[in-house]
Structure 1
Amino acid sequence: MSVPVSRGNTPLPEEKTLHLPRILCLHGGGVTGEVFRAQARSLIKYLPDFRLVFADGPFFCNPGPGIVPVYQDYGPFRRWLRWLPEHPEIDDEAAIEEVMYAIETCKREDEGDGPWVGLMGFSQGAKLSSSLLYDQQIRREKEGKADTDYKFGVLLAGRSPLVSFCDYSRSPACVNPGAVSEGFHYEGESPHILRIPTIHVHGLADPGLHLHRKMLNQYHDPKATTVIEWDGAHRVPIKRTDVEIITNEIYKVAREQGVDV
């Protein structure tokens, strides 16, 4: 689903956003694209030169932490990956197919025609965003091409590890797509390092902060990362003072990567 962007306080009509560069937005576990859109309302407001498109994860699940009661009527809730043992088992290839089908369906059904320039994810969606960027990178390295051309990622509270989406990234450092990701630990230096630019947004009161920093330090090239820390818990920032710092950096990184905004 896409959302109207705004200039100042006035939303642009939907038809005015069709040609803008597009950012694919991936929600957290136990949420939906519609809920993420509501959570990201302030980010949307301060990104008027992008078309933000929100995808729905392929698997149903119970609502995530903090979703009820505010968003209790927005179900059924969804996830991209297994993070609890009670989530139904699935083999790796089927997990990959389901995730990719959900993403490609969302992209195909969007009415915009601007280039897909970035990924923005929250929590599990941030883990997925980083993993998809790495998959793009390693396929280009090994095969000389990839199906996507994302220029950057915005990772809101994304915790380690990366998820392997092809044989090139199957290793002890990455979790398999059909496995339970919660509780996964890899110590030491990861051989899988993302060099596509990423913006990492960390809430200093987030109980998972140590895992977000582990993701940053273990799987991302420091030369290609920007870290923004804010005084908040496990949620998407909404205050103007926090959001403007994030969106200003998105514009900066996008322009450095040749995006016309």
Structure 2
Amino acid sequence: MKPKIIFLHGSGTNVDIFRIQTRHLSSLLAPHFQLIYLAAPHPCPPGPGVLPFFEGCGPYLTWMDDRSPEKEHAYWGSGGGGGDANEGAGVKKALGGDEDGDGVGQGVVGVVGFSMGAKVGMEVVRRLEKEYEGGGAIRVKIMVAICGTVPFGGGGGDEDGAREKGWKESLGKGLVSAESVHLIGERDPWRGESEKLVQFFGEEGRRVLRFKGGHHMPVEDAVNRQVVRMILAACQES
């Protein structure tokens, strides 16, 4: 069985759209890994750049309401139990990351997340690492964050410093020890958040690749091949 890599799409898209968006990267990874695309749970309007190219390709989905740090915090909850306050556990369960999980977790070595999917992936990997230290079964070796947004950043203004306070509080929960690759578009309107997301990963194992583009998957063959080399190197380590 090939090792598995999980793909988490951005807000306002879906699995089918993300397969198209990641076609260059996935074609290079497919000979080495089983690629698994997970769908977000909530319907929403189309995301930035989705229209008009993906007109009629809905339903468009999102992982959470992250328009404020408070709304996003409600998505993740405090762990344990069920209900709306812990919807974030759904991704972890899909990976087999809890006691009741019968998902795809066995053999998962990497996570690729775009935009909101990147910060969801970061949080899931961080939680799985804590469980692994306590005897859990899943050890994610590498996280690829593409145009990622920052946890607890909120989507509104910053008049009261809530966004700054929110992401720093999340950062205070600890760093991700897995290796990471951060693809940051030089013209991405959310570039500042992508730069902040880098800080959630240990300095020794993180790599930052900046590409000439906006909030989208890089299409350059050289960039995608470099990412694949990094993933293979991380997964070949003991």
TM range (shorter): 0.7 to 0.9
Which of 37, 45, 51 pairs up with 2:34? 51
Residue 21 of structure 2: which of 32, 36, 39 is its match?
39
Q: Is the 8 A contact 2:109 2:142 kept in 1?
A: yes
Q: Which runs of 5+ in 1 are unaligned?
A: 1-18, 162-174
Are residue 122 (structure 1) and residue 111 (structure 2) matched? Answer: no
Listed as ranges, the gaps of 5+ residues in structure 2 are 97-101, 157-162
- Following superposition, the deviation at residue 94 of structure 1 comes to 3.1
Conservation of the 8 A alpha-carbon contact between 1:58 and 1:102: no
Amino acid across the alignment from 1:196: A
> How far apart are the structure 1 equivalents of 2:72 and 2:32?
40
> Which of 216, 219, 234 matches 1:238?
219
Q: Which residue of 1 aligns with 2:154?
A: 181
Q: Tell me which moved more, 48-57 or 89-98.
A: 89-98
Local SS of the residue matching 1:31: coil
Q: Find the residue that maps to 1:72 and give its secondary structure.
A: coil
CA distance in 2, matches of 1:101, 1:193: 22
Q: Report SS of the residue matched to 2:87.
A: helix
Q: 1:225 and 2:217 equivalent?
A: no
SS at match of 1:207: coil
Which amino acid in the other structure matches residue 89 of structure 2?
Answer: M
Deviation of 1:25 (Å): 0.5
Match of 1:170 in 2: none
C-alpha offsets along residues 163-182 of structure 1, whole Å, 9 cap, x if unaligned? xxxxxxxxxxxx4xxxx833
- Quick check: 1:211 aligned with 2:193? yes
Number of residue pairs the alignment of both structures matches: 216
Aligned residues: percent identity?
25
Q: Deviations over 1:122-158 (max 9, x none)?
A: 00000111111111123345xx133532221111111
AA in 2 matched with 1:35:
I
Matched residues in 2 for 1:118 and 1:254: separation? 8
Structure 1 residues 106, 71: closer, same or farther in 2, change over 3 A?
Answer: farther
2:145 paired residue among 142, 155, 162? 155
C-alpha separation in 2, matches of 1:198 and 1:233: 20
Equivalent position of 1:248 in the other structure:
229
For 1:20-35, list aligned pairs within 5 A.
20-35=2-17
**Contact 2:74–2:86 at 8 Å: present in 1 too?**
no
State the match for 1:100 in structure 2. 89
Deviations 1:33-85 (A, max 9, x none): 11111100000111121111111001111110111111122211111121237
Match of 1:11 in 2: none
**Structure 2 CA distance for aligned equivalents of residues 89 and 224 of structure 1:** 27
Aligned partner of residue 236 in structure 2, secondary structure: helix
Using the alignment, how far apart are the partners of 1:132 and 1:109 within structure 2?
14
The amino acid of 1:203's aligned partner reads G
TM-score by length of 2: 0.79
RMSD: 2.8
1:46 match: secondary structure: helix
